[in-house]
Chains A and B, each alone.
Chain A
Amino acid sequence: MPGLQVWAGGISRAVRPKQGYVGPRIWHLIDARARVVGKLASSIATLLVGKHKPTYVPRFDCGDHVIVVNAKDVVFTGRKWEQKEYHHHTGWPGGLRTIRAKDLLAKFPERIIGRAVRGMLPKNLLRKQRMMRLHVYPEADHPHDAQLIGSYRAYGPRWPLGSKPERWCPRVEPPVPQGPQPLAPAQPPTQPP
């Protein structure tokens, strides 16, 4: 049949993406309030790797961008804020540094999520690129309004339990610049009766 691609014939006929294929990237906006760190991080790792897409190929960096806001409001179960410790070594003798989760949250709130996600990504050369597409902010505001002008996905408090976005945000047209607006006439201060 003309126009119909024939897929029969073993793996040599399978349609493969070209070298360096990444596909379209979209942006995900996640509110981290009252989220358990590990569960949230595993879902974020899936998005960063791109394993939620049918076009996923393990050797290509085909994941999405993820913005996490309110990262200071994540939760740990149990007594992990007191008991969990983060270690790193400076390389010098006796250079093991240890910080409790509670102190790390006070010092660098975004690193709680960042370290959890980093540990859940595949340990290969793509990990650095994938981490660069994770944008964590401790407060509710973020500098990515320009990236969210197109369609993006936002996730409310129920995700990732249902493992689907709470809403698919439709395309928002950027505001048309109108030029300098005339200043509103100053209102006279209301007189108290």
Chain B
Amino acid sequence: MVVGNLNASEGCDALVIGAGPGGYVCAIRLAQLGKDVILVDARASLGGVCLNEGCIPSKALIHAAETFEHLQHADSMGIVLEGTARIDMPKLKSWKDSVVKRLTGGVATMEKMNGVRVMQGTARFLGPNQVELMQDGRPIMIDFEQAVIATGTTAIELPFMPFDGEFVIGSREALDLEEVPEKLVVIGGGYIGLELGTAYKKLGADVTVVEMMDQLLGGSLEPEINSLLNKRCKQLGIQVLLQHKAISAKPGKLGEVVVEDKDGKQKTLPANKVLVAVGRRPNTSKLDLATVGLQADAQGFIQVDIERRTAVPHIFAIGDITEQPMLAHKAYREAKVAAEVIAGHPAAYDVRVVPAVMFTDPEIASAGMTEAQAREAGYNVQIGVFPLKASGRAMTLGAPEGLTKVVVDMDSQRLLGVHIAGPQAGELIGEGTLALELDAFIDDIGHTIHAHPTLSEAVLEAAEIALGTCAHFASPKR
């Protein structure tokens, strides 16, 4: 505790900076372990980008867009709409906001129940055991024994096309539009741009996705899934410009975006909004890390060890600011590890896999190594690919496009990766993730009964294809 400081001051065992998925979980866990904890965040509402302007609101929007799209194609199932379905954006928005509010309120309640003190403001280090929290221009000193940095990331801005909140927008604004733009140009074919682009396409916008690379989603997809995705984008009418880069934007009610292909040929795209989703950058520049002897790397990441400890032993870092992938569930796990290490328990961030889900159309989920990564790592690779065309359940859902793929080490029969495209891929990847984390063998999956008729059978089928025991699909001769 600080004595005799003129400023308002607080003290705690553990200070957590940032109340996103990493920070809020870490604070709760620390409190559970008996620590006196202060959690600070610049936002009034807890949950960080994930709850407030990322995962959760975007999934609400995507679900609404999907439901709307399904209705338009429901007639084949004999569902007849009298008149036309239409989108009421303000109502959609307020529903989405109500979801966010319930969740962020829930986090606040959990913090309170666990005795975590939550304070709003922006923090910077003053010394190895002290931060200054700026609260409405008033500094508050907080002393701590140990600190966890969990400040997350911000959308990267294109210098020649800065965010103006109106015409050039980021994902945050894109989740808060008052109306569906007639023409939307998305710069960046990563998962954020493609998810939102697809949602707005389904809500009625003309959507063009501009991507610098020659593949969507950072070229990380299994080739089978990549071709499904391209096919579906075409079917939905999303214009995808690969190997194109943004050059400039002319704002306006109907403005313009100039893009250029790899040969330097320029093209002008009319647009009501331009969504720039070219990546995210760690929020580490305002922390005055140098004060404690820490330094972020060129990309702004703070390096940590397996215990999530930084080079300064009593300061930890978790979540998006430590390393890729920038995913909430990775931060959740890091949060638990850091909290337990701080409380003196043996813990380590030694996870086998971080699953990734892309709420595109088709939904894509993956855990573990891709076939290419496994080959590169020197494994004797065997794969099993099962198309949803052969799945009874997928057909009854009216969604036979998709596949499941397993990557197996032929020598040990160990599962190395699971990749899924199709409805509920994000739910189905849970089985693959658990199997990988338990170091399951392919017959562990192949000999497990999967309920019929469900999509989960598709994981079993892929495993059986790898094992050569599949009865529902004749795979091409190996």
Partners in one complex: no
Query: What is the interface of chain B, defined by CB distance below 8 A to chain A?
Result: none
Q: State the A residues within 8 Å of B (CB).
A: none
